[in-house]
Amino acid sequence: MRSTFIALLLTAAAVAQSTPVPQPVAASVPTMNTAVLEIPAGTKVPLALKNAISTKTTREGDPVYAETVFPVVVNERVVIPAGTYVQGRITNSKRAGRIKGHAEVLMHFTTLIYPSGYTVVLPGALDSVPGADKTTMKGEEGTIRQDGQTAEKVGTVAGTAATGTTIGAVTGGGKGALIGAAAGSAVGTAIALLSRGNDVKLEAGTTVEMVIQRPVTLDAGRIPPPVK
């Protein structure tokens, strides 16, 4: 009996050693993709300039600083809150000529800087300048053109000629009036030729509108959550 019991114990021990012990299985964690948001191409963003721009002093490569003045919403989510900084640069600046040619300035926006410090590279162009007087947009690139002053120069010549006519009439009359008118016209023409046309002037605080030219992808985790 004793030998049989020992044999059974040895057999049980052998079976226990040969049977694999189940190992704990680590729970699989599903891989989560970082949520993203996208600002569609063609989205318009209202801005206020933080620095003044003038074709009299601005040169190609000069920086442009602006700030969003109204939130931009995509699919009921604020993707660009008001107060987001926008940085860009001047890509072309041309003064008006003395005889012809309008003053022009071209700028592009390159970076969004959120209040948290999150920075996004973007392709942005100027779409309109509602806050600037006597300017028009030229072409698709967003060039700002200053309106011409042909009428002002014509007025200068006419006014100077009229003054010359009056002086000639007072001093000699007849022929003197004609001479005075001719002299006055010559002076007025000289003044018009020496003076340049108006410069493009955008003061700090001027409202402009940027258009995003290509879709811009954002990290949703870096954007302020929607207000509930």
CA distance 11 to 8: 5
* Residue 175: per-residue pLDDT: 52
User: Which strand (E) or helix (H) includes residue 47?
Assistant: strand 44-49
Count Cβ atoms within 10 A of the Cβ of residue 1 and give its class: 0-12 exposed, 13-18 middle, 19 or more buried. exposed
Average pLDDT per consecutive 10 residues, the chain (228 residues; last block may be shorter): 56 56 48 71 96 92 96 92 96 75 88 95 90 61 64 46 47 50 45 59 93 94 72
Give the pLDDT score at 174: 55
What pLDDT does residue 76 have? 87
Backbone φ and ψ for 206, nearest 5 degrees, come out as -60, 135
